[in-house]
Amino acid sequence: MKQSKRDITLCEKDALQDLLDQEKLLMTYYAAGLTEGSSQAFRKSILTNYTQQAQTQFDVFEQMLARGYYEVQPAAKMMIDQNVEKFQKCKKQLSAG
């Protein structure tokens, strides 16, 4: 028996994951619009939307986290220190050039 779209439903976790994925995709589109925009008014509008979208994306993430659907692994201090050092070197190279 062939299933139709109305016969298929997402559980809460899958629905939230789908929503989070879509929010992340929208963020990339807004970022592209911001970097490619050629007028100040357009860039201002895109930046406003980008900021609102970032909050929406974070709200969905927090809902997933609160429900135990998204697990965040804390970074090891050594990994953080290595990345800080790496980016400090990059910053020095950029400011020296």
Helices (H), 1-97: 12-36, 40-66, 77-96
Is residue 8 very low, low, confident or very high in pLDDT (cuts 50, 70, 90)?
confident
**Cβ-based burial of 46 (10 A; exposed 0-12, middle 13-18, buried ≥19):** buried
Q: What is the pLDDT of residues 13-52, one digit of tens each?
A: 999 999 999 999 999 999 999 999 999 999 999 999 999 9
pLDDT digits (tens, 9 = 90+) for 45-91: 999 999 999 999 999 999 999 999 988 888 888 888 888 888 888 88
At 92, is the pLDDT very low, low, confident or very high (cuts 50, 70, 90)? confident
3-state secondary structure of 29: helix
Rg (CA), the chain: 20
